[in-house]
A and B are shown apart, each in its own frame.
Chain A
């Protein structure tokens, strides 16, 4: 087992790893930028090393600085957390070359699964369903292709992104003209008019499977996490199990995740993300080759510590559970991401001084945070300041518990997403589990409109 682990990260996840290390009797080294001098992870680690100025490129993304910090402190392993260098194959390889164990998958697995297109090809080979579509570029046989995929379809620019060359087609009679439009747009935007076709999943849910794999090739898959409540691909709330899941689909999804992990020769923990359609079919999106923000949800549902697992697997230990144990669902868990953002102003970041903070506690409540009264949220990094995770025997009880815990959560000084979470819990579609990945955006839009509307009325009455 490792003697001393350097945590190449900051914020709540650095603290989370420090806690796991302390429980395992492993010494810790925190690294920090100039902006994080007063951060809690610096105080809680056994040692702390300043590695650079505030911008992440010069500190938390600076490979030479992090490796040097490991060298001067005598660390024997590096935990990358999430974000920053956690999915960087070159960093994982550089750790190995410097004689450090990288707590994560091997660099070649990160490379294989890190790029969406190579990961998708691997998924196809492994028999894991991907969103139906043309394998290559769209040619003269577009009508047959569309019939095979099934309407509605999306026409997408091969070279593109950002909505350019993107067309939705619902009826076969519109297909030819829409393809021409997409090609013209793509040509103008990317100097490349080639397009491809994909089935449009109109009302998808985002559901993911946590996997753990040892170096002998044993793989287990945990119950799913539902991360459907998101805004512009930023997850806001995650829960497990998914209110939209039936046991049969769960088993198929777990098997798909295990098949992909085996095909990639994956080791350590990771997450396979899927789109779940309303008819129960699901499609592979991507693999996150690291610990995820929402991992506590799975820890609660399974009663299994994923950070201990990561560290043990990286040290070469075999998995100490089988699939049957991993599949157990022991509770319902909901995670609320508390961000220093103003939901009423399009979730604009709100860094600043936290004047006072009272964190919720009590039955079924877990808080992962690095904030404290008097802490200033720096503007350089992401706006996540706390994760509130609640658990209860059933989903409805968990929702009631969330409400209670959010009411107890008392933060002064900065705006946060707490009011947004309270609002979500009061919505019937959320309570009934009937919502898709577009829901949070629509809900927040409606709430903002309503707030501005009432403001306009009160201004009017004053005049």
Chain B
């Protein structure tokens, strides 16, 4: 089987009519494959109503601060409230604060858990 540019064009036109992004054809050792540039926008997810709280540092996560227990799931927190501390080597602690007021929808790191920079610690529902 041989195909010329005209044949290819016909296949391409047909491909554009479908909702396919790619088509390939193979017969024995011969064949072709065509794909359309993905111009269609990726369907946008609805914006999340949760605000993530990410770890600002690498270390060991301690819930709460200065003897106070950490906020439990479902409890309300004020903006900038200290949710916990990341304990680092050489005694340094980096506070983790709530970026928005709301309630703790879910916490991801338990007390004493190792976290890295950017680890997800909480979702806050404003």
Contacts and interface: CB of A to CB of B under 8 A. Distances in A.
B109 to A, nearest CB: 12
Nearest to A67: B89
A367 interface: no
A293 interface: no
Interface in A56-91: 59, 63-65, 67-73
Given A68-B59, A72-B58, A72-B60, A34 B118 contact: yes
Interface string A43-63: 000000111110000010001
Interface string B25-49: 0000000000000000000000000
Contact of A67 (B88, B114, B119): B88
B116 A51 contact: yes
A94 interface: yes
A183 B57 CA distance: 50
A49 B86 CA distance: 15
Contacts of A52: 57-58, 117
Nearest to A72: B114
Interface residues on chain B, size class:
10 to 19
Contacts of A73: 114
A425 B56 CA distance: 49
Contact of A65 (B60, B114, B117, B119): B117
Given A51-B58, A72-B58, A64 B89 contact: yes
A70 B58 CA distance: 10
Interface string B64-107: 00000000000000000000000011101000000000000000
A50 B114 CA distance: 12
B116 A64 contact: no
In this complex, the member of B58, B59, B116 whose beta carbon has the largest number of chain A beta carbons within 10 angstroms is: B58
Contacts of A51: 58, 116-117
B116 A49 contact: yes
Given A72-B58, A72-B60, A64 B92 contact: yes
A69 B58 contact: yes
A76 B118 CA distance: 24
Nearest to A53: B117
Contacts of A34: 117-118
A65 B86 CA distance: 11
A70 B59 CA distance: 9
14 contacts: A34-B118, A50-B116, A50-B119, A51-B58, A52-B117, A59-B117, A65-B57, A65-B58, A65-B88, A67-B88, A68-B58, A68-B88, A68-B89, A94-B90
Given A52-B117, A65-B88, A71-B59, 17 more contacts: A34-B118, A49-B58, A49-B116, A50-B117, A53-B117, A65-B117, A67-B88, A67-B90, A68-B58, A68-B59, A68-B60, A68-B88, A69-B116, A70-B89, A71-B89, A72-B114, A98-B89
